[in-house]
Structure 1
Amino acid sequence: MIRIVVVDDHALFRSGLISLLNDMGEFQVVGEAANGREALDVIRQTKPDIVLMDVNMPVMGGVETVRALKNHEPCRIIMLTISKSDEDLISAISAGADGYILKNASPEDLKKAINQVYRGLGVLSPEVTKQVMTAVASGKTPQQEVGLSAREIEVLSCLARGLTTAQISNELFISENTVKTHVRHILEKLEASNRVEATRKAVQMGLISAAEY
């Protein structure tokens, strides 16, 4: 049997999915979690073959969790989400996800996807395949997609750590006015209204680590 951990912040969906998987006869759900941070503990304890995980979750999102797992755990990861966002999709694949399936998939399609990924193949929902092909053809990373420079990523990391303008200035050896200019550009490019929102979006997109937030 293929051992599975389900990670989703919606308890009702999680419960229904677990029942569906267990009833299929080929799978055994060995653990569940409501966010990425919980998932890391559950996965370390249960050692699943496959992780089915949502993208957007509180505490620790799916993209950052994928990155953490790929560094330490041998399991394969399928993102199971409602999101068709280019940012979510490309960030998840770039972080190391083995598949990206939309929640409107049929039970049979989900079953096929799990078996494919278990055999070492990648899998994408048909609705998002073109987006990946376009991104690969353009060769763009999530950072490039939003147009952030290397310096702006550095400033963004400082914002995530809660540093003030003066502290960022001292750390990066640039003037406070330059810091303010970078912050303004970051907010514009991420379409964020303030520093907190910019940091949250950056984490969700995989531009910076949740550990910095």
Structure 2
Amino acid sequence: MEKIRVLIADDHALVREGLRKLLELDENIQIITEVGDGQGAINIARREKPDVVLMDVNMPGTDGIVATRVIKKECPHTHVVALTIYEDEEVVEMVRAGVSAYVLKDVAGSDLIDTIHRVMQGEVVIHPRVANRLVRELARNDKKKEDLRLTRREKDVLQLLVRGNTNKEMADIMFISEKTVKNHLTSIFKKLSVKDRTQAAVYALKNQIVSDD
């Protein structure tokens, strides 16, 4: 049986040392190396293609979320196990980034080793408290999307707004009156919870409601 090759990424040296000593108790696990930041994890992952990365969520510079996105894009067969002290708000972003497991750092050593073996078998492992947080956050995000409910015409107006068209230009392009354009904008601002055109454009692009083409 080939050993599971593991990369440890955490900005605290004591945590890295503790994880190394713990994982070395399993003869089927091989520690490739340790790094203290997300960019270091990306660099090593590109070169070594580890089986598993133990990824601290909160690190200075390139954090665990960005590092996970890059690693999963460039090394899709590498499993990322997110490690954190808290039930972070970032749990949704880490899951979207492609983690195979999300565990708290107070997890028992045997459970962490078991998690590594389980993700290698294709399982997704989420700590129960984190799972509760994830469900709540996803429900909140779904509600937010539901509340938007932009109409087709409102999306068209928003697209033109992002492109920099004036109200008159929008009216001419859409064959409607300027008053109707203003009504659409009022409705859009309310649904997006923004105050002006600039905020609406930024929100629309950030949340990929429309494109900047």
Matched with 2:21 is: 19
Residue 113 (structure 2) aligns with: 111
Q: Secondary structure at the match of 2:6?
A: strand
Cα distance in 2, alignment partners of residues 94 and 53 from structure 1: 15
Does the alignment pair 1:173 with 2:174?
A: no
- How many Å separate the matches in 1 of 2:73 and 2:106? 30
Q: Report the Cα offset of residue 24 of structure 1.
A: 2.2
Q: Which residue of 2 aligns with 1:6?
A: 8
**Which SS does the other structure have where 1:23 is aligned?**
coil
Q: State how far apart, in whole Å, the 2-side matches of 1:70 and 1:113 are.
A: 18
- Structure 2 matches for 1:174-193, cutoff 5 A? 178-179=197-198
One-letter identity of the residue aligned with 2:25: D
1:146-197 deviations in Å (ceiling 9; x for gaps): x9x9xxxxxxxxxxxxxxxxxxxxx96389x744x569x98xxxxxxxxxxx
1:139 Cα shift? 7.2
Greater relative contact order structure (CA < 8 Å, 6+ sep): 1
Alignment-mate amino acid for residue 135 of structure 2: M
Q: Any conservation in 2 of the 1:8–1:33 contact (CA below 8 Å)? A: yes
Q: Which runs of 5+ in 2 are unaligned?
A: 151-161, 167-195, 209-213
Q: Distance in 2 between matches of 1:65 and 1:31?
A: 16
Following the alignment from structure 2 to structure 1, what is the Cα–Cα distance between the partners of residues 39 and 46? 11
SS of equivalent to 1:58: coil
Q: What secondary structure does 2:72 align onto?
A: helix
What letter is aligned with 1:51?
Answer: V
Is 1:140 the counterpart of 2:141? The answer is: yes
Instruction: Name the residue aligned to 1:83.
Output: 86
C-alpha distance after superposition, 1:121-155 (max 9, x if no partner): 0001122121223344x2727x96xx9x9xxxxxx
Q: Quote the residue 1:72 is aligned against.
A: 74
**Identity in percent:** 30
Q: Normalising by the residue count of structure 1, what TM-score does the alignment of the two structures yield?
A: 0.66
Alpha-carbon distance in structure 1 between the residues aligned to 2:163 and 2:34 = 41
Moved more, 36-45 or 126-135: 126-135
Distance 1:10 1:36 in 2: 13
Give the conservation status (yes or no) of the 8 Å contact 1:66–1:96. yes
C-alpha displacement of 1:50: 0.5
Distance apart, 1:20 and its partner CA: 1.3
Q: Deviations over 1:76-118 (max 9, x none)?
A: 0000111202x21111001111110000000011011111111
Secondary structure (helix, strand or coil) at the match of 1:3 reads strand
Give the deviation of 1:13 after TM superposition. Answer: 0.8
1:32 aligns with one of 31, 34, 39: 34
Amino acid of the structure 1 residue aligned with 2:79 = R
**Taking structure 2 as the reference length, what is the TM-score of the superposition?**
0.66
How many residues are treated as equivalent by the alignment?
A: 161
- Contact conserved, 2:87 with 2:133, CA < 8 A, in 1? no
Q: Which runs of 5+ in 1 are unaligned?
A: 150-170, 187-201, 209-213
Whole-angstrom CA distance in 1 between matches of 2:163 and 2:40:
34
| Root mean square deviation, CA, Å | 3.0
Q: Supply the distance in 1 between the matched residues of 2:134 and 2:25 (Cα, whole angstroms).
A: 32
Counterpart residue identity of residue 11, structure 1:
A
Distance 1:113 1:78 in 2: 8
